[in-house]
Amino acid sequence: MNLNWMAWTLPTAIFFAVIACLLLFFTFLAIKYPETPRRGILMIETTRGDRLFITLLGSAFINAGWLAMSGLPQWWALGICAFYAAAVFRWV
């Protein structure tokens, strides 16, 4: 199968691989350790999967905001995202 037309690069491949692994890992968690939804500070019921989605979407915006405004290395935004992810999984 020729995938040249998709114009793959190593960083984007890693990016998608990480997301795919996350999805697989969370699927595994959901099967192995079923959970009940809980209510956090957003006052909505969330499961682990919801929290993962909120984390990923929020991280995208954090990265975009960092790129648009800070002018500092993009890696730092990843650090903020880690804090954000921890906060989402703890309190949302």
Partner 1 sequence: MDKIQNNKAWFLVLPVLVLVAFSAVIPLMTVVNYSVQDTFGNNVFFWEGLGWFQEVLTSKQVHSAFGRQLMFSGLILAIQIPLGILIALSMPKKGFWASVCLVLMALPLLIPWNVVGTIWQILGRADIGLLGYTLDALNINFNYSRNPVHAWIIVVTMDVWHWTSLVALLAYAGLQSIPQAYYQAAKIDQASRWKVFRYIELPKMQGVLLIAILLRFIDSFMIYTEPFVVTGGGPGTATSFLSIDLVKMALGQFDLGPAAAFSIMYFLVILLVSWVFYTVMTNLDKAEGR
User: Which of 1, 7, 32, 79 contacts partner 1 by CB under 8 A?
Assistant: 7
Q: Check binding of 15 to partner 1 (CB under 8 A).
A: yes
Report, in Å, the least distance between residue 9 CB and partner 1.
Answer: 6
Q: What is the dihedral of CA 57, 60, 61, 67, to 10 degrees?
A: 180
91 vs 27: CA distance, rounded Å: 21
Asked if residues 48 and 90 have their Cβ atoms less than 8 Å apart, the reply is no
In the complex, which residues of this chain contact partner 1 (CB under 8 A)?
4-9, 11-12, 15-16, 31, 44-45, 53, 57, 60-61, 64, 67-68, 74
